[in-house]
Amino acid sequence: MEILKRPMGDYQTNCYIVKIDGKEIIIDPGMGATEWVMANVKNPAAILNTHGHFDHVWSNSELQNKLSIPLYTPKRDVMLLQNSTWMPGLPPSTPDIEVDGDQTFDISDIEVKFHHFPGHCPGCSMIEIGDVMFSGDFLFKNSIGRVDFPYSDPEAMKESLKKFSQMREDKTLYPGHGEATSVYAEQQHVAYWIRSI
């Protein structure tokens, strides 16, 4: 597996390309991601959204049109793909597959697991592929996603952090912003985060 990363737009939102078994999976194509993605894929299989915030989904529709591949988005965030209170110019997109909670998919013989961790937003999820996880805006290195946005839910975030603390397998975490970390490293902070919310 090879993972390419490029921070996109004013918010430096990480767009990822996962290369595995001669295919590519695109994760969170944000603002201005299309050109970079097109230059780095040869056999794309799918576009995945960790959640529906505009800076993670801006290039969804453009890439859907150019690549003719399915878009997977957490079901509870689909409404965020049609409009954004922060960015009225968001190009609307429609997922081919609405991911309902924790679900596992076979995408061109690649096992992809969505783990639902609401709080930052209703559909917020981490995506597991092999021995890595893409944590979107649920977890960052030494930090967590904000819970003061529209549709955020502090109590749901506390429950999600408790759920995360029960994960028993260490994996590398690639967040939506900033540098990589790991499951075990971030579990050390869970009690502090829960108290801080």
Averaged pLDDT score across all residues of the chain: 97
**pLDDT score of 89 more than 90:** no
pLDDT at 6: 98
Mean pLDDT of 87-91: 86
Q: pLDDT tens digits, residue range 107-157? A: 999 999 999 999 999 999 999 999 999 999 999 999 999 999 999 999 999
Residue 34 pLDDT grade (very low, low, confident, very high; cuts 50, 70, 90): very high
pLDDT above 70 covers what percent of the chain?
99
CATH of domain 2-196: 3.60.15.10
**pLDDT score of 87 more than 90:** no
Q: Where are the domains of the chain?
A: 2-196
Residue 66 pLDDT grade (very low, low, confident, very high; cuts 50, 70, 90): very high
Instruction: Render the chain in DSSP notation, one character per residue.
Output: -EEEEEEETTTTEEEEEEEETTEEEEE---TT-HHHHHHH-SSEEEEE-SS--HHHHTTHHHHHHHH---EEEEGGGGGGGT--SS-TTPPP---SEEE-SSEEEEETTEEEEEEE--SSSTT-EEEEETTEEEEETTEETTEE--S-STT--HHHHHHHHHHHHT--S--EEEESSS--EEHHHHHTTHHHHHHH-
Residue 181 pLDDT grade (very low, low, confident, very high; cuts 50, 70, 90): very high
Least-confidence region, from 47-51, 87-91, 116-120: 87-91
What is the pTM assigned to this prediction?
0.97
Q: pLDDT tens digits, residue range 2-27? A: 999 999 999 999 999 999 999 999 99
Mean pLDDT of 76-105: 92
Is 124:51 a contact under the CB 8 Å cutoff? yes
pLDDT at 125: 98
Mean pLDDT of 91-120: 98
Mean pLDDT of 61-90: 92
Mean pLDDT of 86-115: 95
Mean pLDDT of 179-185: 98
One-letter amino acid of 17: I
**pLDDT score of 85 more than 80:** no
